[in-house]
Amino acid sequence: MATTTVDAHAHDSHAHEGPKGILGYFWSTDHKVIAQLYLWTGMFMALIGGLMAYVFRMQLAFPGKPVPGFGVVSPVEYNALVTNHGTIMIFWVAMPVLIAAFGNFLIPLMIGADDMVFPRINRLSYQVFLLSAIVILASLVVEGGGFGGAWTAYPPLSANPAYNLTPLGATLWVVAVALEFVAFLLGGINFIVTLMNARAPGMKAYDIPMVCWMIVIASILFMLSVGPLIAGAVMLLFDQTLGTGFFNPAVGGDPILWQHLFWFFGHPEVYVVLLPAIGVTVDIVATFSRRKLFGYRLLLYTAVGIGVLSFFVWAHHQFIAGIDPRMANIFTVTTLLISIPVIEMFFVVFATMYGGSIRLTVPMLWALSFLAEFMIGGMTGIYLGSSGSDIYLHDTYFVLAHFHYTFFPIAIIGGFAAFTYWFPKMYGKMLDERLGKIHFWGTIISFNFIFIPLFILGGLGQHRRIYNFQNFPELAPYQPLRVVATTALVVMLLFQLVFFWNLIKSFRRGVPAPKNPWESNTLEWTADSPPPHGNWPPDQMPVVYRGPYEYGHPGRESDFWPQNVPPAREA
């Protein structure tokens, strides 16, 4: 094949392909540049999603009053804000940051490769993603405003412009989401094939760092679950624009079909973003506990088990959609079953920490808080997965608080954990630990003050997607709880300024990062900080001799044992 012959002379030309100028930056095929593009696009979208939350939370706390920086929120705007907050946070923040950005940055570096196996498809993936981000942002300002039918886009509300009143916004929403799927299919195939084929010599399946495994398992899950929804998106688009009736019972369609197609994707999607966050946590906890990961294979098989199980739980979102109660029983059982492998993963992390010499650095704090906060989300899920109690709790703020206690730890806490851990490698500068800790505690404490009140409100029967609770006499008296949540949100958003200050400070006069600041074992820490184009000199590509978690080995002088150190030199 042609590929074997280019090997010898490829590097000379390859080495000159680093980004040049702004345009060169957007046109680069370097996996690290693409990772940063994904990262900063994701952070920008997170800012937009966060500001949307600020506007609609202000409306809920102080209904009808003008929101500083926005003005009076109309009911139509409220719906569009809530819908697009959810859509953006999942598809344009959680996925690009956790999977695309860190997958792109880490997979080639951690497996000792110089790039992805298909660098140009990788670039195409980002470009399609950028286009999708532009489309979703454009959908907010078109005539009629952004789509307001909730991020789940249930028909008939989403299918018929006469109901949703946003003919353009709804169509652009579907187009943007479909483009985003295309971007992640392209990227995901690249991740999977890169991990399968491009590993450094000596790196066997069980020598792969856990975060790489998790991102690749997540990519496979995504690929296998998103297909029916792509077909569903085509049907919805036709319903909106051509006047077909796939989801219209009047002409033989079925609105429940969309719910099945959506949640057949939507529930595995939770694990698509959970697994990379677990992978990040595992790598960080093992490094800062100076202990070998407890049960590498157990964790890997558990992740695969979660992946398989996650295809059989989707209808727990539809307990009150009129599905057969016998079917609801089955889905209750599968939903409760999946909590077993999830908690198994957590016990693996706890067992890893047991007896370790724990270093409470900023990334470690984020990783530990991920475990604590996600646990609350997981535990409250048991009430929602049981079809009986879900009949009462369905579509209340209890559900809302529950999934924010899963998605916030995954996307935001997991994202910050990974970012603070790999920042020295990405930019060659250390972050300020003191500012990092201020940012950490400010974010975590205010986060709990946002959502614990919302759990209480949900238990009291407060329904989601309501513009103004003052119209409901039985819910109006709980206004103080809403004000607490909104105040905490504003505090949390303000604490993000500390993070940006930390970034600016580090870029301007941060301490230069050594190659391996955390004394970690995995291969990315053997490259320069930041790694040059090609990651290692072509004649010094790393070779792997052992697993990624050999910390605290008895009889060794240093308490870590990098994957690429030959055993002979040690003896």
Partner 1 sequence: MSSKPIATSRSATGVPTGRLAVWWVLASEVVIFGGLLASYVIHRMGHPEWHAAAAVTNTWIGAFNTFVLLSSSFTAVLAHQAAEHGDGKGAARYLMFTILGALIFVCVKAFEWTTEISHGYTITSNGFWQFYYTAAGLHALHVIAGAIIMGFVARDAAKGRELHRVELIGIYWHFVDVVWIFLFPLLYIAK
Cβ 342 vs Cβ 278: under 8 Å? no
Q: Which is nearer to partner 1, 208 or 286 (CB)?
A: 208
Q: Which is nearer to partner 1, 190 or 406 (CB)?
A: 190
| H-helix or E-strand spanning residue 162 | helix 161-164
Cβ 328 vs Cβ 388: under 8 Å? no
Cβ 84 vs Cβ 140: under 8 Å? yes
Give the residues across from 457 on adjacent strands: none
The residue behind tokens 């703020």 is: 397
Residue type, 346: F
Do you know the residue count of the chain?
571
Q: Which is nearer to partner 1, 209 or 510 (CB)?
A: 209
Largest CA distance in the chain: 78
Give the residues across from 551 on adjacent strands: 560
Q: Which is nearer to partner 1, 233 or 418 (CB)?
A: 233
Give min distance, CB of 379 to partner 1, in A.
32
The residue behind tokens 């916030």 is: 408
Token digits for 567? 């055993």
Give min distance, CB of 198 to partner 1, in A.
4
Task: Read off the DSSP letter of residue 242.
Answer: T
Give min distance, CB of 321 to partner 1, in A.
16
Q: Which is nearer to partner 1, 38 or 246 (CB)?
A: 246
Q: Which is nearer to partner 1, 1 or 23 (CB)?
A: 1
Question: Among residues 341, 347, 330, 168, which one has the least CA distance to residue 240?
Answer: 168
Q: Which is nearer to partner 1, 264 or 331 (CB)?
A: 264
Token digits for 410? 């995954």
* Inter-axis angle of helices 362-385 and 414-427, nearest 10: 150
Binding residues for partner 1 (CB under 8 A): 1-4, 6-7, 10-11, 13-14, 17, 108, 113-120, 185, 189-190, 192-194, 196-199, 203, 223-232, 234-235, 238, 242-246, 251-254, 257, 261, 264, 534, 538, 541
Give min distance, CB of 189 to partner 1, in A.
5
**CA atoms of 518 and 526, how far apart (whole Å):** 12
Cβ 241 vs Cβ 171: under 8 Å? yes
**CA atoms of 312 and 327, how far apart (whole Å):** 11
Q: Which is nearer to partner 1, 227 or 305 (CB)?
A: 227
Give min distance, CB of 451 to partner 1, in A.
34
